[in-house]
Every structure is written in structure tokens, then in C-alpha cells.
Amino acid sequence: MLPDTIPSIILALSLFVARVSASVTIYTTTSSAASAAPQPTLCIGAVPCDGNVLQPMPNPTGPNLSQIVPVQLYPGGMNSMGIPVSGSFFGFSLELSVANRLFGNDGNKLVPIFLNLMATITNRAGKVLLRVGGNSQESAAVVPGGLPNDTAILKVQTGADKTFTPTLLVSPSLVYAMGNISSLLPIDWFIGLPFNDTTNPRLELAEIAQSVLGKNLIGMQLGNEPDLYAGNGIRPNTYQPADYTTDFGTVLHDYQSDPSVPNTNIFVAPSVCCGSSGNGWTPETVFNTGFLSQFSTNLAYISVEHYPTNNCNDSGILDPAALMASTFLNHGMVSQLSQQYWNTSQIAVTMGKPFIMFETNTASCGGFSGLSDSFASAMWSVDYALNMAYVNFSNALWHVGGESDYYNPFTPPATNQSHFRQWTIGPTFYSGLVVAEALGNSGQARVVDLFLNNNNNFSPGYAIYENGNPQRVVLINYLTDPSGASNYTAYISVGGNATNTPGGTPSSVLVKYLLSPSATEKFNITWAGQTFGGAFESDGRLTGTEQTYTYTCDQTNNVCAVPMPAPAVAIVFLSSSAQSESGPSATQTFSTSGLSAGHAANTATVAQAVLATSNGRGGGNWVGLGSTSPGSSSGAFSERLRSSSLVIPVVVVALTSAATIFRASSWYS
Ligand SMILES: *[C@@H]1O[C@H](CO)[C@@H](O)[C@H](O)[C@H]1NC(C)=O
Ligand SMILES: *[C@@H]1O[C@H](CO)[C@@H](O)[C@H](O)[C@H]1NC(C)=O
Ligand SMILES: *[C@@H]1O[C@H](CO)[C@@H](O)[C@H](O)[C@H]1NC(C)=O
Ligand SMILES: *[C@@H]1O[C@H](CO)[C@@H](O)[C@H](O)[C@H]1NC(C)=O
Ligand SMILES: *[C@@H]1O[C@H](CO)[C@@H](O)[C@H](O)[C@H]1NC(C)=O
Ligand SMILES: *[C@@H]1O[C@H](CO)[C@@H](O)[C@H](O)[C@H]1NC(C)=O
Ligand SMILES: *[C@@H]1O[C@H](CO)[C@@H](O)[C@H](O)[C@H]1NC(C)=O
Ligand SMILES: *[C@@H]1O[C@H](CO)[C@@H](O)[C@H](O)[C@H]1NC(C)=O
Ligand SMILES: *[C@@H]1O[C@H](CO)[C@@H](O)[C@H](O)[C@H]1NC(C)=O
Ligand SMILES: *[C@@H]1O[C@H](CO)[C@@H](O)[C@H](O)[C@H]1NC(C)=O
Ligand SMILES: *[C@@H]1O[C@H](CO)[C@@H](O)[C@H](O)[C@H]1NC(C)=O
């Protein structure tokens, strides 16, 4: 069946490329006051160069603004600390349809920039968890013999099915690339399996993944946001949690009957996303159909997916500046997001199963320009990740979609620029570094929300305990105030004071800051003085000298004063061992002049001249699909959107007179 489709693929593809070519506009970024970081002079219609910077929210006055914030820690532990989590808590979910563009088409052509980025995290966290999947997994079909031009993924509109969902052809080489990545770096994988058709379950992806990835395959997802299936046309309108449970059982049985899938106890489910906006399903409505008792041994993870908001426009166009203040620079809203899963996490803990946020980011349907790609999203992601750790999630994966998505932690350039451009590193990638260092790599990190400053929305803080000892404090100042009037000082005390325990405040603390001049800044972001730079500037390695501040404490008065600029995130390490545990050691780096499996894995440095001209994308055979990510539509998009989605591969939207932006819209129009 599959080889027959190739000719139509080629046709579809050439039409597709022709559309892209006809409408590319080259423009020079206009510099904006808030985004003064160096930008490439040529930014060809790319989302990271749209220059759209929002206004920071106005600062509060009166009781909401306190320059003195006491932080009292208790030796031995604190009430309602989360369960122990690992440094790899913060991982990434890579949309299947663009996965080859992120890490390469096969094991011999890995993308060094991707490897460098992952090394910055593994180096701190000890490991990274990556999921390959998303909406596009549903229609995936493996072509065992591979695809034309050695590409690993090809999206094709067969026109055969009435929902116009394109088939995503996948070459086994994609999985070999994953296997080679795990032999270079400590990376474990989740894979999303197709589930659009229970009568034709297409088991090949699981077969190949199990045989190639072995123990590095830690989970297989069956059912991606099933609460949206009815709306998306993947199932009938009457689709209910009980139907999902039945379907899961049917397909599970197919896997169990397949000797090439030896491990059927690593499933990830139920991955419902949307509560009231997703037909009212919650994890519990699925559990109440007997799901957990029926599949308890087959489930390695209990999963949910959730984005706090969306840019789908199904209930009108939302204003990103208003959302920034109401939803993102707002600890109370972060707490509410986690709170809806208290019951679910309790069930998972009781069952002894890890509870995973399998896909999240700022906003589904691609995120918002100026919000999802701003420093606000970085601060929010730290707050949200630590809050999830506090309410007993065990991992959370930030989604990466196509190049037209604003929320991406990292974005490669358009295919035909890959030989001279580097990648754009989004603000949320920095959050991954911060969370990795905050949690350390002991696997014993227990997070507690300190409800700082009388639970003020603008100045959240967390303590991280290991084996009963407070090791680190994470502080956030959501306000933007160049005047300095919104800076605060955290007065941290361990024990002593009014706790009826002996004072244990250390003689000094080490502090690293995540800094940017404004919550709305896009590129001038530093973590401990280091940065990935501006649009299409990064080879995946941090540049600059690492900067750690040491503040001497007042042990007589049992207090350490730590200044907090506005805005900022800080990790306060309460001992040098708390810092060295997750402090980056010598980071493994990968030459961007080409990487073959087993070769050149440890190239320590690469001359900039080489970088600038190298094939930094791991091979010249990338099929140029422009921006095709259904990841940009992942999450809570509505029935209206899906049902109105015709096949319009690329829509060109003029944002300003100077710029043309490609929007992925193959899933919606
Ligand atoms: C394969 O590459 C050749 C040469 O670059 C190109 O003409 C052809 O269209 C490509 N085929 C596909 C399916 O992309
Ligand atoms: C990329 O492709 C587009 C469309 O074919 C073309 O207009 C543009 O000049 C190309 N850019 C480079 C750097 O080759
Ligand atoms: C503990 O007491 C000292 C001395 O009075 C004070 O400076 C510090 O702010 C107190 N710590 C907290 C967390 O309140
Ligand atoms: C690495 O990639 C090569 C080429 O795709 C493949 O033959 C080999 O099996 C891969 N190795 C692993 C460990 O996946
Ligand atoms: C499921 O996806 C496959 C591969 O894309 C496609 O051929 C098939 O028609 C789809 N089935 C249904 C019921 O949507
Ligand atoms: C928690 O979930 C269980 C299982 O679905 C359900 O029986 C119980 O009512 C829920 N509790 C709350 C407080 O929602
Ligand atoms: C929603 O509307 C905004 C503003 O017009 C637009 O940028 C965005 O692409 C739209 N989203 C979708 C999914 O169409
Ligand atoms: C998380 O688990 C710990 C340990 O079981 C428990 O004390 C705490 O209350 C749980 N938190 C939530 C929000 O359920
Ligand atoms: C501001 O302070 C008031 C009064 O203390 C409080 O009710 C409100 O929740 C605070 N707002 C924020 C955003 O923290
Ligand atoms: C606020 O913090 C910034 C950054 O550390 C610093 O430059 C400035 O002097 C501080 N202002 C005040 C009033 O503390
Ligand atoms: C970046 O922001 C810092 C403050 O965080 C500021 O001192 C510096 O001048 C900014 N750099 C550029 C290039 O705008």
C-alpha cells in the first residue's frame, strides 16, 4: 500500500515547495528598543524575526509591592513537599512531523546543534527525556524501505480520508537517529503511536522503536488528547471515555499479540488535555470507566497534556498583552493550573506510577507572538514546572513544533538557510536549564511552594529539599521596573528565628540569575551570565563566562540577604555541594561541521569560521516542507477549527508592511 503513494507525494511536495517559493519576502529586522540584542541583518520571513515586542504590564503599587521578602526554611523538611523528582523533570516533546528537522534524518546525519543543546541539559540534569509525537502521530505510517532522498518524514495528502488528515510517512531511519543520539548522550525516549484506526493499528513504529532503542525507550503513548477526537474528526461525535477505554484495550491486544513488541508494559495514557473545553473529559472520567484497573500493569506512566490558553481563535481573538498579565506573570494562576490535577496526582502516587505532563507550553495553536517568545514565558515556565513538581507530577515536557510556532524552546531555520544559519533558542529553553540546576541530579529533590510574600502573585518562591535538607531556593520576580523600585531582597533563614529549631543558616550562599531587561524581551536573556544569543545565532552552546554570585550571610542573626532585580529568576544554592551537584561540568560539544555516529562526538571547540559555513543541520537532503507543523495546532483546538481545516499547506500572513511570516496551517486555516 505505501509505496504506491510515493508518486502522489512527490506531486504534492513539488506543489508545496512552489507555493513557499513564490511568496518568500526578505527583510531586515527593524531594531526595537526592548530587543536590542544583536540580530541577524537577514531574517527571511521567519517568526523569530517578527520584531513584535509587547508592552510590559504596569507595576502594582501599595501592598503588592514589598521590597522585603522573608524566606523561612525548616530543617528536616516542610509540610506537603512534593514527592522526590529527578533533574530531568523538565523535558521536551518534539512534534513527530518535524522531528527529523530537529535531530536529523538518520543515525549518520545527526544535527550537531540539537546535540549541543541537549548536552547543556544532560550536563546539569544527568539525563533528558524526549517525546516524539503529538497530533501528527495519529496518522503516522512507517515505510519499512525508507523514503525518497533519505528523508525520515514525509507528509502527504492522499485525499483518501474525509477529514483531510494528511498521512505522515515515517522512515525507520528516524528511529535509528534516536538510537544514535542515545548512544552519544543520556537521553531516554517516549514515542507516540498511531491510534486513528483501531482496525488498522499499524504496529511497525513500536516494533522498530523497541528493537532499536531498547531500554532507552521508556514509554509508548496510545491516544493523544482523546478528549478532542470527536471534535477533530478522528472518532464519531458520540465518542466518550468508555469508548477510549475500549479502543485502548483493542489496540493493546494487538500489541500484546505481536512478538516483535516484547514490552507491552510501557504505555503512557490517558493524555486527556482539556477538561471543560475538551468535551468535559478529565483523567478521572477515563479512570471511572475501569481504565486503571484494566490496564494497571501495562501503564508505565499516567499522563495528561495541557496548555493554559490557546491562540486558536475559536472563542475570539485573545490579546497576548492582557494574557501576559492575567495568566502568565501570575503565580496564583500557575497554582490553579496545577490544582486541577491534585486528585489525579494523588491517584498516580497511590498506584506508584509516575504522573507526567506529556505536552505543555504557553498556548496551543502555535502560541502568541510577543508572549510565548518572551522572557515572561521563561519565568512562567520555571514557576509552572516547579509547581507541577510540588503537586507530584514526576516530569513535564515542553512542546516543540514547527518553525512558525512562537512557543518553541528551539527552532531551526528554514530548510534552505540551514547551511548558513544557526538556530533560534527560545526563552523557555533557559527554563529547562534553570529547572535542571534547581533540582540537581540526586533524584531526591522535593519541591515545596513557599507561598512567599503572603502568597503574592508577583514574587513566587520554592525550596528544594534533598534527604530532609534544604539545598536550593528558587526566587522569581515577575515585575519589570528599570527604576529599581520593584527590586526586592529575600531574607533567607534556615531554622532559628521563630521555628523552635536551631539556626542553620550557612555562612554564605551562591546565586545564579536568569536575567533580562524586561518581561517582554525576546533575546537578551542570560543564565548565570551566559546566553544563546539572538535569532538564528546559536550553535547550541552557551556563550559568555559563567557568573555566580556569592553573598555572605549574617550567621549571628541567622539570615542571608539575596537581592532580586525586576525581572529575574534566581537559584540560591545553600551550600557549595548543592551547587556542584547540578553545576555544569565540562559540556560535551558536537562539531557542526558534520557528525557521523561513532566519530567526532567530542570535538571540544569549533572555530566560528567553520560554524558559519558549516552544514550545521546534518545533511543537505532535507525535504523542504517549509512550515508544516501540526504542533502549532496541538492542544486545545476546537471542533470548529478542525472541521474547517482544509488542506492549505502554507498561509502567508503579512504582519507588518515590512515582513512576511509563514504560518503553519495545514491543520487549520
Ligand atoms: C529528491 O531530490 C531531487 C534532487 O534534489 C529532487 O529533484 C526531488 O524532487 C526530490 N524528491 C523528493 C520526493 O523530495
Ligand atoms: C530560500 O528559498 C526561497 C524560496 O525558494 C528563496 O526565495 C530564498 O532566496 C532562498 N534563500 C536562500 C538563502 O537560499
Ligand atoms: C530571622 O531573624 C533575623 C534577625 O531578626 C531577621 O533579619 C530575618 O529577616 C529573619 N528571617 C526571616 C525569614 O524572617
Ligand atoms: C545508528 O545509525 C545507523 C545508521 O542509521 C544504524 O545502522 C545504527 O543501527 C544506529 N545505531 C543505533 C544504536 O541506533
Ligand atoms: C489513519 O491513518 C492512516 C495513515 O495516515 C490512513 O491511511 C487511514 O485512512 C486513517 N484511518 C482513519 C480511520 O482515519
Ligand atoms: C478522585 O478520583 C477518583 C477516581 O476517579 C474519584 O472517585 C474521586 O471522586 C475523585 N476525588 C475528587 C476529590 O475529585
Ligand atoms: C488567531 O488570530 C491571530 C491574530 O489574527 C493569528 O495571528 C493566529 O494565526 C490565529 N490562529 C489561528 C490558529 O488561526
Ligand atoms: C504529594 O505527595 C506527598 C507525599 O505523598 C504528599 O505529602 C503531598 O500532599 C502530595 N501533594 C499533593 C498536592 O497531593
Ligand atoms: C494585592 O494585594 C491585595 C491586598 O493585599 C491582595 O488581595 C491581592 O491578591 C494582591 N494581588 C496580587 C496580584 O498579588
Ligand atoms: C535593582 O537591581 C538592578 C539589577 O541588579 C540593579 O542594577 C539596581 O541597582 C537595583 N536597584 C535598586 C534600587 O536596588
Ligand atoms: C541586555 O540586558 C542587560 C540587562 O539585563 C543590559 O545591561 C544590556 O545592556 C542589554 N544588552 C543589550 C545588547 O541590549
Within-domain flag for 570: yes
Tell the residue nearest (CA) to atom 9 of ligand 8. Answer: 80
Contact, 431 vs 90, CB < 8 A?
yes
Cα 44 to averaged position of ligand 2 atoms, centre (Å): 8
Report the C-alpha gap between 285 and 504 in whole angstroms: 47
Which ligand number lies closest to the CA of residue 650? 7
Q: What cell does 650 get?
A: 502554507
pLDDT of the residue at 585: 72
State whether 541 and 625 are in the same domain: no
Cα 1 to averaged position of ligand 1 atoms, centre (Å): 21
User: How confident is the model over 321-347, as a mean pLDDT?
Assistant: 97
State whether 210 and 303 are in the same domain: yes
Within-domain flag for 660: no
Around ligand 6, the residues with Cβ closer than 6 Å are: 284, 287-288, 343, 347
Total domain count, the chain:
2
Where is average pLDDT lowest: 98-112, 211-225, 487-501, 612-626? 612-626
Report the C-alpha gap between 469 and 668 in whole angstroms: 50
Within-domain flag for 182: yes
pLDDT of the residue at 552: 98
Report the C-alpha gap between 107 and 513 in whole angstroms: 37
State whether 533 and 472 are in the same domain: yes
Within-domain flag for 171: yes
State whether 189 and 284 are in the same domain: yes
State whether 638 and 566 are in the same domain: no
Pocket test for ligand 4, best of 180, 187, 212, 595 (most atoms within 8 A of CB): 180
Q: Which atom of ligand 9 is nearest to the CA of 455?
A: 14
- Residue 459: which domain range? 46-81+449-582
CA dihedral 219, 225, 229, 234 (to 10 degrees): -40
> Could you tell me which of 555, 632, 97, 128 has the C-alpha nearest to residue 367?
632
Within-domain flag for 40: no
State whether 66 and 202 are in the same domain: no
Contact, 486 vs 479, CB < 8 A?
yes
State whether 91 and 77 are in the same domain: no
Which ligand number lies closest to the CA of residue 282? 6
Report the C-alpha gap between 324 and 320 in whole angstroms: 6
Q: At what angle do helices 375-390 and 331-339 cross, to 10 degrees?
A: 40
pLDDT tens for each residue of 507-524: 999 999 999 999 999 999
Which ligand number lies closest to the CA of residue 1? 5
pLDDT of the residue at 165: 64
Contact, 106 vs 496, CB < 8 A?
no
Cα 63 to averaged position of ligand 9 atoms, centre (Å): 7
* pLDDT grade for 583, boundaries at 50, 70 and 90: confident
pLDDT of the residue at 646: 20
Around ligand 7, the residues with Cβ closer than 6 Å are: 311-313, 317, 365, 663, 668
Cα 417 to averaged position of ligand 10 atoms, centre (Å): 41
Which CATH number belongs to the domain containing residue 304 in this structure?
Answer: 3.20.20.80
State whether 459 and 394 are in the same domain: no
526, 549, 582 - which closes a domain = 582
Which ligand number lies closest to the CA of residue 64? 9
521, 549, 582 - which closes a domain = 582
Cα 451 to averaged position of ligand 9 atoms, centre (Å): 13
pLDDT of the residue at 2: 29
Report the C-alpha gap between 508 and 294 in whole angstroms: 53
pLDDT of the residue at 322: 96
State whether 342 and 324 are in the same domain: yes
State whether 479 and 397 are in the same domain: no
Q: Which position has the grid cell 562539531?
A: 591
Measured from the Cβ of residue 518, the count of other Cβ atoms closer than 10 Å reads 22
* Residues in Cβ contact with 50 at an 8 Å cutoff, skipping those fewer than 6 apart: 369, 655, 656, 659, 661
Cα 82 to averaged position of ligand 8 atoms, centre (Å): 5
Give the predicted TM-score (pTM) of the model: 0.86
Within-domain flag for 431: yes
Within-domain flag for 318: yes
The angle formed by the CA atoms of residues 276, 300 and 98, to the nearest 5 degrees, is 70
State whether 266 and 353 are in the same domain: yes
pLDDT tens for each residue of 620-637: 222 222 222 222 222 222
Q: Is the CB of 498 under 6 A from ligand 5?
A: no
Contact, 303 vs 268, CB < 8 A?
yes
Q: What cell does 105 get?
A: 534524518
**In which element (H, E) is residue 663 found?**
strand 659-664
Which residues, listed in sequence order, are joined to residue 390 by a DSSP beta bridge?
none
Q: Which atom of ligand 3 is nearest to the CA of 498?
A: 1
pLDDT tens for each residue of 110-161: 999 999 999 999 999 999 999 999 999 999 999 999 999 999 999 987 655 4
Q: Which atom of ligand 6 is nearest to the CA of 288?
A: 5
User: How confident is the model over 644-651, as a mean pLDDT?
Assistant: 21
Within-domain flag for 223: yes
582, 601, 624 - which closes a domain = 582
Return the half-sphere exposure (C-beta side, CA atoms, 13 A cut-off) of residue 169: 26
Q: Which position has the grid cell 514557576?
A: 383
Q: Which atom of ligand 11 is nearest to the CA of 517?
A: 5
Q: Is the CB of 562 under 6 A from ligand 5?
A: no
Q: What cell does 457 get?
A: 502573585
Q: Is the CB of 161 under 6 A from ligand 5?
A: yes
3-class SS of residue 220: strand
Contact, 439 vs 389, CB < 8 A?
yes
3-class SS of residue 189: strand
State whether 462 and 389 are in the same domain: no
Which CATH number belongs to the domain containing residue 511 in this structure?
Answer: 2.60.40.1180
Q: What DSSP state is assigned to residue 301?
A: E
Does the structure show a pLDDT above 70 at 584? yes
